[in-house]
Amino acid sequence: MKSLKDLGEAVGWHKIALEKGVINHMNQLLMDDPCKYFEYAANDSTVALLYESALYGYNNKPPVTITSAAAHVMKDSMISYLGCDNTAEFDRKYRGLEKIGHGLVKRPNKPGYVESSSLEPISDKANTIQYYASQAYHGGYNGSSDIGYFFQTTFDYDLKNAYPTCMCLVPDVDWENPVKSEIVNRELTLQDFVNPDSGGYASLTMMFCYVRFEFPETVKYPCIPVNVEGVPIYPSTSEGLDGVYACGPELFLALKLGAKVFVEQGYVLNAIINPENGKMSYSLRSAVKQLVADRDKAKAEHGKKSLEELILKTMVNSGYGKTAQNVVEKSTWSAYKDEMENLGCSSITNPVAACMITSIVRAVLLATQNQCHALGYMTCSVTTDGFISDVPEATLKSLDLFGLRHYMEQARLFLTDNKNPEIWEIKHCQDDLINFTTRGNVSLYCKTNPMLFNDKEYEGVCAHNSTKSGYDSDTYKDRLWLMTQILCRTKAVEYKNEEWTTFKELAQGKDFIVRNTVKHIRMDFDMKRKPDRESFSPRTVTVENSTYEIANFTTIPFHSVAEFKEYRERKATVPCLRTMDDWNAFWLKSDTKTSKTKVRDMAWAVLNSCIIGHRAGFWTIPKLNELSGAERDAWINSHNNSSKVWKSSDWKNAGRNSRQVNMLQRELITNKLQELMSDK
C-alpha cells in the first residue's frame, strides 16, 4: 500500500482524483488548467507530509525508513526491560560495546576538526565472541532438492512468523562475563548440551565453535552451512577446509543426526540472569512482544490488512534485519558523498543474537526435512521460512523436530497470549507443481482458478526466479507464461523488463528515462546440491494441449566444497538442463572430466571419438580404410545421429594429435564403435 491514495485515506486527507487518462498527459493539464495542476501537485505533497507526521509526530526528524523506526522502537523497549538509563549503558549491557575516543580528526571537505570515536567491544573476550558469531552468521536457508514435475498433492508450508518467533528464544549475553566454558581440541558430544538443572538437552545453547565435521552418508540433509564464494551450501563433510564457524542449534542438530564434529576452539556463553526471579534475561522477546501487541491493536481498531496494521507487520518482521544489519559488512551508495560507504550497524545490531536467530530457523527447517525424509516424504524446496512438500499437515505437526518444536511452540504461545501454539500453516496447495530451482516453482492454480483441498480454496505457488512475464502477477496468464517457458526452454529464458533511471543516476545529473530492456536468465537447477544420477526419469507434461518433456530427479548433499565447485563449473559448459538428453550431456562431461570442453551434442561427440581413435591407430574401422574423400564422408554421415553434418575438414581435424584429448572413454562409445566396425 505505497500509493498516495492509500496514505491519504489513512490520515483523512485524500489525494485529488483526476479524470481518466489525464495522468498520462500532465504537461497538457498544466497548459489547459494551471490552477488545477498546481493544486494537484501541492495536495500530493500535503498527503505525504501529513502521513509522515501521523507516523512520527510533528516537527520531528523522521527515520529514513519504517525499518529504522522499528529499530528505534525496539531499542526503547529493550532499554526499559534491561533497566538502562541511557544509550551508552544499553550498548554495553546488550551489545557488549563501548564508545572509544580517537582524538580530533580533520573534517572532510570543511574547515575545522571533529572528535572521532567508535563503538568497540568492551573486552578481549567480548571481541572474540563477536568475531566468532559474525563468522558463524549466515542468512536464510534457501534451496531445492527435488526437481521436475510433481502431480501428487503438495503443500507450501509457512513457519509462522519465523524470525519474530525465534527472536523470542535468544537470551541476552552477560558481556561482563561472556564465557561460561571453552571447548578445545576435542569432539563435540550431546553431553555438551545437557542442562545441569533439568538433565535434558538445551538444544538452543549459545555456543560458537570453529569445527571440522563429517555426516553419515545416510543423512539426506546435513545442517552445517558453508559459505562458498557467497553461496551457502550444506556438504556432508568439511573435507578440504581448515574448518568452519558454526552455531549451537545447528551443532546440536548435527550431533542428533549422527555427525562427528571436532571442535578446534569453541565457547559456551553466559546469559544475563535477572536477579529478581533468577531467570535468564530476554530483552528481544520483550521488544517483539510490544510490536506484536501494537499490531493486534491496529488490526482491531483499523481492520485486517489496513495500512496501520501492515505498517506494524513490517516493523515486527524487520526487527531481525536491524539486529543483523552489517554483521556481514555491506556498502551502500551515499548521495551526499556520491560514493560507496559502509552501511554501518543499526542501533540494535548484535552478531550473537543475529547468528542465533538465523541458526534456529535453519535448524528447524533442516530438522523438518530430515524427519520428513525418514518417513518417506519429499521436501522439494525450502525458502527462508517455509518449504514445499507432500507431507500431510497432521504428520508435519506431529514431528518433534529433534526437540526444537517445543521451543518454537513456547515462543508462539508467548506471542499469542497463550492462545495458539501452532508453528505451521498451509500457504499454497497444488497438484501440478513444477519445481526447477531455488525460488523457482510454479502451479497454474490462481485466484480465478483455485485448488479445492479439504473444502478450502488455495492458490498454487508461483516463484519466478527473478523473471517477469509482463502479465499481472500471479494471474493465470502470468503462471502459464512461466510454466511454458520452463517446459520448452533450450537455453536461457528471455524476458522484457522496464528499467527506470536510478536515484543514484539522477543525483549524478542523468535525465530520467524508462528503458525497455531484454534480459536473459538461466532457469536450470542451481546445483546447490548434487543431482542423484540414479534417480533420473523423464516426465511428460501437457499444458494447454501442448506436451513437453522434463527430467525428474532428487538430490543428495555434496561430499565436499571441491565437489560442489566441480559441478558448478561443469554446469556452465552445457546450455540447458531440462530434458534427459540435456542431463546425459552433463553426465558425459562428468564421466570424461572435461569441464572446459563444451559437449553440446553427445551423438556427435561419440561419432567423432570413434573416428579420432581410428586415425590414432587405437582401433581399425575397415570401411574407413576402403573409402576416401566424399564417399568416406557420406558413409560416416550414414551413421551420424547428430544434427551436424560430417565434412572433409572434420576428417582432417580427427587426425590431429591435439584432438585426442577430446576423445571420450571407450565404454561410452562401445555401441557406436561396434556399429561402425560391423558395417563392411
List the CATH number of the domain containing 426.
Answer: 3.90.1600
Buried b vs exposed e over 560-590: b needs ≥16 C-beta within 10 Å?
Answer: bbebbbebbebbebbebbbbbebbebbbbbe
12 and 160 belong to one structural domain: no
**Res 173 pLDDT > 50:** yes
Laid out side by side, the sheet with 386-389 consists of 142-144, 379-383, 386-389, 154-159, 424-430
In sequence order, the 6+-apart residues with CB closer than 8 A to the CB of 454 are none
**Gap between the Cα atoms of 109 and 106, Å rounded:** 9
Whole-angstrom distance, CA of residue 453 vs CA of residue 65:
40
Enter the C-alpha cell of residue 543: 499444458
pLDDT at position 595, please?
44
Q: How far apart are the C-alpha atoms of 252 and 308, rounded to whole Å?
A: 40
Does residue 519 share a domain with residue 374? Answer: yes
Q: Is residue 128 included in any domain, yes or no?
A: no
CA distance 71 to 77: 10
What type of residue is 156?
D
609 and 526 fall within a common domain = no
Query: Long-range contacts for 295-303 (Cβ within 8 Å, ≥24 apart)?
Result: none
Strand partners, 118: 100
Residues 517 and 381 in one domain: yes
Range of the domain at 501: 143-167+354-530
How many whole angstroms separate alpha carbon 184 and alpha carbon 268? 11
Is 360 inside a domain boundary?
yes
Mean pLDDT of the chain: 92
Residues 358 and 505 placed together within one structural domain of the fold: yes
Final residue in a domain of this structure, among 507, 530, 553:
530
What are the tens digits of pLDDT across the range 18-56? 988 888 889 999 999 999 999 999 999 999 999 989 888
**CA separation for the pair 75, 69 (Å, rounded):** 10
618 class by beta-carbon count within 10 Å (0-12 exposed, 13-18 middle, 19+ buried) = middle
Q: Give the sign of the dihedral formed by CA 538, CA 544, CA 545, CA 546.
A: negative
CA neighbor of 484 nearest in space, from 442, 526, 445, 439: 442
How many whole angstroms separate alpha carbon 241 and alpha carbon 75?
Answer: 39
594 pLDDT higher than 70: no
Please check whether residues 388 and 507 belong to one and the same domain: yes
Does residue 658 lie within any of the structural domains? yes
Eight-state DSSP code of residue 271: B
pLDDT of 599: 56
CA angle, corner 449, sides to 444 and 450, nearest 5? 90
Dihedral sign of CA atoms 274, 275, 279, 280 in order: positive
Q: Is the pLDDT of residue 79 over 70?
A: yes
Rounded CA separation 290/283 (Å): 11
Q: Is the pLDDT of residue 602 over 90?
A: no
Q: Is the per-residue pLDDT at 667 higher than 80?
A: no
Least confident among 411-425, 432-446, 614-628? 614-628
pLDDT above 70 (res 661): no
**pLDDT at residue 412 above 50?**
yes
Confidence class for position 407, pLDDT limits 50, 70, 90: very high
Q: Cell numbers 506436451 correspond to what residue?
A: 547
Q: Report yes or no on 542 lying in a domain.
A: no
Mean pLDDT of 73-85: 95
Q: For residue range 456-499, what is the model confidence (pLDDT) as tens digits?
A: 999 999 999 999 999 999 999 999 999 999 999 999 999 999 88
433: in domain: yes
DSSP string, 88-110: HHHIIIII-EEEEEEEEEEPTTS
Considering the domain architecture, whether residues 391 and 506 belong to the same structural domain is answered as yes
Query: Do 246 and 232 meet the contact criterion of CB atoms below 8 Å apart?
Result: no
pLDDT per residue over 351-394, tens digit each? 999 999 999 999 999 999 999 999 999 999 999 999 999 999 99
Q: Do 9 and 157 belong together in one domain?
A: no
Provide the 8-state DSSP code for 546: E
Model pLDDT for residues 503-534, shown as the tens digit of each residue = 888 988 999 999 899 999 999 999 999 999 99
In degrees and rounded to multiples of 5, residue 419 shows phi and psi of -95, -30
Question: Which run of H or of E encompasses 232?
Answer: strand 231-233
Residue 501 sits in the same domain as residue 607: no
Amino acid at 105: V
| 324 falls within a domain | no
| Residue partners of 38: CB distance under 8 A and separation at least 6 | none
Band (pLDDT 50/70/90 cuts) for residue 278 is: confident
pLDDT above 80: residue 113: no
Q: Of 500, 530, 560, which one is at a domain's C-terminal end?
A: 530
Question: Which residue from 212, 250, 219 is spatially nearest to 360, judged by alpha carbons?
Answer: 250
pLDDT at 268 over 90: yes
Among the ranges 21-30, 81-90, 112-121, 652-661, which has the highest mean pLDDT value?
81-90
Q: Buried b / exposed e across 317-327, counting CB within 10 Å, b at 16+?
A: bbbbebbbbbb
Mean pLDDT of 609-633: 90
Which residue blocks in 185-282 are alpha helix, DSSP H?
A: 248-256
For the packed helices 124-136 and 351-374, what is the interaxial angle rounded to 10 degrees?
40
Of 114-123, 170-179, 489-498, highest mean pLDDT: 170-179
Do 55 and 159 lie in one domain? The reply is no
Mind listing the pLDDT tens digit for each residue in 535-578? Answer: 999 999 999 999 999 999 999 999 999 999 999 988 988 889 99
- Give 345's contacts (C-beta < 8 A, 6+ positions apart): 119, 325, 326
The answer to whether residue 181 sits within a structural domain is no
Per cent of the chain over pLDDT 70 is 97
> Do 382 and 524 belong together in one domain?
yes
Q: Tell whether 221 is covered by a domain.
A: no
At residue 216, does pLDDT exceed 60?
yes
CB 159 within 8 Å of CB 382: no
503 and 391 in a common domain: yes
How far the first Cα of the chain sits from its last, in Å, is: 76
Kindly report the number of other CB atoms within 10 A of residue 242's CB atom: 8
CA-based nearest residue to 221, from 136, 146, 161: 146
Q: What is the pLDDT of residues 127-151, one digit of tens each?
A: 999 999 999 999 999 999 999 999 9
Residue 449: how many other CB atoms lie within 10 Å: 14
430 contacts 451 by C-beta, under 8 angstroms: yes
Contact yes or no for 451/479 (Cβ under 8 A): no
Instruction: Output the CA–CA distances (angstroms, integers) from residue 466 to 413, 439, 492, 523, in the order listed.
Output: 36, 9, 13, 10
Provide the number of structural domains found in the chain: 3
User: Quick check: 458 and 154 in contact, CB under 8 A?
Assistant: no
pLDDT at 46: 95
The answer for 260, left when phi > 0, alpha when psi is -120 to 50, beta otherwise, is beta
Q: Which of 530, 546, 570 is the last residue of a domain?
A: 530
The pLDDT-based confidence of 109 (bands split at 50, 70, 90) is: low
Q: What is the pLDDT of residue 146?
A: 98
